Amino acid sequence: MMTNEHDENAMGKKRHAVRSNTKVAARHVTVASALLLGAMAAHCGSDDGGGDGSGGTGGGGASVHDAAGGSGGITNDAASGAAGTTGRDASAGSSGGNDAAGTGGGGGARDGSTGVDTRDATLQPEATPPPDGTSRPDTPPPSDASAPPDGTPQDGTVRDAIADSKDASLDNRDGSPDAGGTSDAGDGGIVPPTGYKLVWHDEFDLDGRPSVANWKYENGFVRNEELQWYQPDNARVEGGLLIIEGRRERVANPNYQAGSSDWKTNRQYAEYTSASLLTSGLHSWQFGRLEMLGRIVAKAGLWPAWWTLGNSGEWPSNGEVDIMEYYSGKVLANVACGTTTRWVAKWDSFSKTVSSFGDPAWDTKFHSWRMDWDDQKIDLYLDGTLMNTSNLADMLNPDGMSPFRQPHYMMLNLAIGGMNGGDPASTAFPTRYEVDCVRVFQKL
């Protein structure tokens, strides 16, 4: 990873730290709790480069899709030894019952039905859309692509506003201001939640490419007939953030075959590019608390996600957890396991429309997503609010085995269009999915 951090970015991060410390002190006086300082010391701007990988069980070499003649491969993947894990399905939209989730009243919608996967045509027949009409789920970039989504340069004022947004998100990560642990701070001053230890993290503090010790990449056309061509060039670390950038740009498909019936090879060009990062073969974990602080753009055609897949087994029998997913105006929290039909998942899904949050500026702010996972259940949270609880006993494969009692690796990606993402024609590009930090804690 490159270490040539710009002075201006460093100054902005220092301003963030000073202001954060001031806010902590004020809350400390108001609430008179010794826990407050430690909790805000854990804000996602600490000085740790991130990701020593301690506590991980090893990726086990799962591959998340078919390489398809070079299309949709994984960059630098040492994962050839694992058994046939396939990639992401069309998420909760495949559940057959996960509708627009309260588009009039703003509520959430829950579904636990079986859904059809809409993944790689090289691995299965083309799937039919679910009944609700939806269908699922190291060259620096051009200088004009470095501005935030609204095109405003990141001067000190903008960075200060970002810092405020991130502080507010972390205040809510456990549903109450400054909830955190009482144990000593871990790497970079990170304070684990009570009863946990920090086992892995990436703070994205060193400008340049994402850490090769933590992340690999997917390449090309991968799943769900999405429009983007995945390439490492669309991911960078800048100003303390992982930036996954979606661009409207034409790139040639090297796997193009005129007359092919395979969507991966019958497109001569991709009209969009983006990036998909994964820890497969590098880091994976069984049980714990996974946290991510990020900012997504909730616009038509965009499909950002933070999710996990099990190391062993073929999808969906390896298990999938969508800790964060957005498309078609709603955020989703989903868990999937296998059924008696290959490539058809049983879904435990919840969705909520962005409009129901009552904040027109919701997607300009950072938000915290979290998974609490043990050998009994999975709880999925957004900004400290429980979105979905999935009991592992209810999410078993046909053989009676739980795909969630094995290590999982994580993925961060920004998909565009495809079977669930919608039409991106009216959305401004470049667009960004920004991640401030990703952390994994496990119980003491």
Sign of CA dihedral 330, 370, 292, 182: positive
Judge contact between 73 and 223, C-beta under 8 A.
Answer: no
Tokens of 109: 């919608």
Q: How far apart are CA 397 and CA 393, in angstroms?
A: 10
Closest C-alpha to 223, from 140, 117, 115, 69: 117
pLDDT for 188: 64
Over 90: is that where the pLDDT of 215 sits?
yes
DSSP 218-255: E-B--STT-SEEE-GGGEEEETTEEEEEEEEEEEE-TT
**Residue linked to tokens 């400390």:** 28
In angstroms, what is the C-alpha Rg of the chain? 20
Question: Is 169 inside a domain boundary?
Answer: no
Q: Is the pTM of this model over 0.95?
A: no
Question: Is 170 inside a domain boundary?
Answer: no
Judge contact between 99 and 349, C-beta under 8 A.
Answer: no
Other Cβ atoms closer than 10 A to 47: 12
Question: Is 270 inside a domain boundary?
Answer: yes
pLDDT for 153: 35
Closest C-alpha to 56, from 284, 242, 394, 246: 284
Q: What total number of domains does the chain contain?
A: 1
430 prior amide bond cis, ω within 30:
yes
Confidence of residue 189 (pLDDT cuts 50, 70, 90): confident
Over 70: is that where the pLDDT of 372 sits?
yes
Judge contact between 223 and 276, C-beta under 8 A.
Answer: no
pLDDT for 38: 37
Q: Which residue has the higher pLDDT, 180 or 274?
A: 274
pLDDT for 228: 98
Q: Which residue has the higher pLDDT, 56 or 305?
A: 305
Question: Is 66 inside a domain boundary?
Answer: yes
In degrees rounded to 5, what are phi and psi of residue 199?
-115, -20
- Taking residues 408-423, report their average pLDDT: 97
Confidence of residue 164 (pLDDT cuts 50, 70, 90): low
- Taking residues 331-359, report their average pLDDT: 97
Say which of 245, 291, 320, 434 is annotated catalytic: 320
Domain residue limits at 224: 56-146+195-443
Confidence of residue 81 (pLDDT cuts 50, 70, 90): very low
Sign of CA dihedral 352, 355, 358, 363: positive
Question: Is 177 inside a domain boundary?
Answer: no
Over 50: is that where the pLDDT of 98 sits?
no
- Taking residues 400-418, report their average pLDDT: 98
- Taking residues 349-369, report their average pLDDT: 98
Q: Is 126 a catalytic residue?
A: no
Tokens of 261: 């019936």
pLDDT for 364: 98
Q: What angle do CA 21, 214, 40 make, to 5 degrees?
A: 15
- Taking residues 372-378, report their average pLDDT: 98
Other Cβ atoms closer than 10 A to 125: 8
pLDDT for 110: 54
- Taking residues 80-95, report their average pLDDT: 38
Question: Is 431 inside a domain boundary?
Answer: yes
Over 90: is that where the pLDDT of 381 sits?
yes
Q: How far apart are CA 271 and CA 86, in angstroms?
A: 25
CATH code, domain with 255: 2.60.120.200
pLDDT for 231: 98
pLDDT for 109: 56
- Taking residues 47-55, report their average pLDDT: 39
Question: Is 158 inside a domain boundary?
Answer: no
Judge contact between 203 and 326, C-beta under 8 A.
Answer: no
Region of poorest pLDDT, from 73-82, 194-203, 374-383: 73-82
Question: Is 40 inside a domain boundary?
Answer: no
Closest C-alpha to 223, from 411, 77, 65: 65
Taking each helix axis as running N to C, give the angle between helix 7-31 and helix 156-171, from 0 to 180 degrees, rounded to the nearest 10: 40
pLDDT for 323: 98
Say which of 225, 226, 245, 325 is annotated catalytic: 325
Q: Which residue has the higher pLDDT, 348 or 110?
A: 348
Terminal CA-to-CA distance of the chain, rounded, Å?
31
Q: Is 320 a catalytic residue?
A: yes
Confidence of residue 117 (pLDDT cuts 50, 70, 90): very low
Confidence of residue 65 (pLDDT cuts 50, 70, 90): very low
